[in-house]
Chains A and B, each alone.
Chain A
Amino acid sequence: MAKLANVLIIDDNPRCLEFMALAFSAHGGVNVASEMVPTKVLDRVRAEKPDLIVLDVKMPDIDGFEVLAMLRGEGNLVPVVMCSGSALQKDVDRAYAGGCNGYLEKPTTLEDYRAMAGAVVDYWRRGELPGH
């Protein structure tokens, strides 16, 4: 049986968290944890050591780019997939320059959500997304 994936979803919007959690939970073998407060992310990552982080871009206080910079700044190479409501090219470029492993626009249908979550988990299991 494939290794259980621990996915940490970070988003300030509870509805987005709900959709994301539903989509990832639809795949067997995935543990889903969520965090709405970006300033708590580092502590949770250190404590829970997730296999994969799904990170929202636009958040109050500190945005996704800053969270990513803090993670990479302390040498944490956990795969991070950034997920935003709008995929402006400059945001995408900034995300990859900051060390993210994937950048996705938030889907508008449940089917797309589930497909996105499935693709991300499959990629991680096949080693396409580097582990930490």
Chain B
Amino acid sequence: MLRAVDRYLQLPRRKYFSALEVHAAIIGTIAAVVVVIGYGFGIEAVQSLAPGFPTMKLRTACGLMALSLSYMLSLRNSDGARWGAVALAASVLALMLHSIAAPPVLVAENPWTAVPSFATLVCLAACAAAMLIITLAPRFGLFVGVLALVAAAPAAFRIIGLVIFGGAPDPISPLNTMALHTAALIAWFALVCLVLHPALPFGRALLQASLRGRLLRRALPFCFLLPVTAAAISFSTHELFGWPSEALFAFNAAFNIIVAALLIWWLSSVSERWQSEANAQAAQLSRANEALEQYASAAAHDLKAPVRHVLLYSELLEEALARGDIDAAKRHGKSVRDSARDLPGMINGMLDYSRSAYTRVNLGETSLSELVQAAVAQVLNDLQMVGGSVRVLTEARIRCDSTLVTTVFQNLITNAIASRRRDRPLEVKINCVNEGRDWRIMVEDNGAGFDPDFATVAFNPLARGVHVAGEGAGIGLATCRNIIQSHGGKIWIDPAYRQGARLVFTLPAGPEPAG
């Protein structure tokens, strides 16, 4: 539940504004619907169809609609909207104060003369005053919080009274004429719209993604529930046992203190856990940065070396030509070619690796044979040169990004070619098993296999540096890991396989990738 609230409140800013607008709009619309049915279409007809359909005094409904509209205007950035919000809130405040100070004489034909209960008038006046502060002086946000509680508390008590006791527990209470739906709308407006208004420092703090914001979001529901629960228990106790007010006060005080202490204890443990998680994440980030720095250093070193060699051999070539030493010139010319030959492979390996970490996965259904054939086509020359063969033992329809998974097979076949044994022709066998949630795919070869020490670090891009990128067993496996992980799968070397190398990876069989 809390996680759902978190997700809701952590929506992008524009959507969050929309969410609050929707809250205010629903409150105003409910008031409008109730009043239109009550005074427009004839409540008798509706109540004959839906017995117990609520009614609402016209002044209450107008107050709620005006507050709703005022709230939506206050979320806009224009001056016109702001002053419109001020005018509406001021009108509501004036109407409610006037209704308290000089209530009109009730005329049966004139619904406007029906005055809401004292509690309703006070609650709506408090909401209107809060709206005025929000729009005119948001720096006094603390008072908005106080006014919101002033409005919400009587409404909440009335809701408890009605829901639990079927009426006000105290017959002379000023709350005893507030209708349930009116109380619900007022409490909703006060606790959600007013308290969370983004113009208030409190609302901003509450909504921010920081530890403070997260703690506030967890603590606040309990702060609201605490007095309400205490009141509900007090009411019940009073009804059942007839406790005197002193005993109820003592009970309430003790209950609040105990629960508040438990709340503080719980929050401190939550914040401690978050702090340790944050520390762990910071440490992980630091390690990742360090790895990135090492990788960048290794990449720079390995890429600079052949370029430097090309430059130096070119100079030697020039010197040899200048002194007419054709044999030396030929030798240096060959060295230039040899030095430059690895560069495209190294750069491609690095590009594949960096792309594999950030590429968006486009899922589609493809047969295993098609994926393998596409990979074989990429390395056909090398494969024919060594007389190797690639066979798919079990056919399956796999859900994956075909381009990315083809790259995986291409890297694995390239590895197999690089680590083939000279005393027998290379055979690569590809098999797959459906394990329910996942496809398990195995790529076996009859080559030299992996050194056990290397197998533990084989998927680390730093394991052997980028200088072997073109040969397949260096950055290629790190690229495979990125691709498989982006599909929500895993990849590993089977340590038990002794006839060569066996790489195993899984791909989710379900419709959605995990990552």
Which of A's residues lie within 8 Å of B, judged by CB? 13, 15-16, 19, 22, 58, 60, 84-86, 88, 106, 108-110, 113
Contacts and interface: CB of A to CB of B under 8 A. Distances in A.
Contacts of A13: 305
B304 interface: yes
Chain B, interface SS category = helix
A15 B309 contact: yes
Interface in B456-514: 464-465
A84 B300 CA distance: 11
A19 B315 CA distance: 11
Contact of B305 (A16, A22, A88): A16
B301 interface: yes
Contact of A19 (B297, B298, B312): B312
B363 interface: no
A91 to B, nearest CB: 8
A109 B315 contact: yes
7 contacts: A22-B316, A84-B301, A86-B300, A88-B297, A108-B311, A109-B315, A110-B315
Contacts of B465: 58
B311 A109 contact: yes
B329 to A, nearest CB: 15
A113 B305 contact: no
Nearest to B319: A110
Interface in B301-332: 301, 304-305, 308-309, 311-313, 315-316, 319
B312 A85 contact: no
B308 A106 contact: yes
B425 to A, nearest CB: 30
Contacts of A16: 305, 309
Nearest to B316: A110
B176 interface: no
A16 B298 CA distance: 17
Given A16-B309, A110-B312, A110-B315, 19 more contacts: A15-B335, A16-B305, A19-B312, A22-B316, A58-B301, A60-B464, A84-B301, A85-B300, A85-B305, A85-B308, A86-B300, A86-B304, A88-B297, A106-B308, A108-B311, A108-B312, A109-B315, A110-B316, A110-B319
A58 B315 CA distance: 25
Contacts of B312: 19, 108-110, 113
B72 to A, nearest CB: 57
A51 B300 CA distance: 32
Contacts of B464: 60
A85 B335 contact: no
Q: Which of A22, A85, A88 has the most CB of B within 10 A?
A: A85
B236 interface: no
Given A15-B309, A15-B339, A58-B298, A85 B304 contact: yes
Interface in B330-378: 335, 339
A108 B298 CA distance: 18
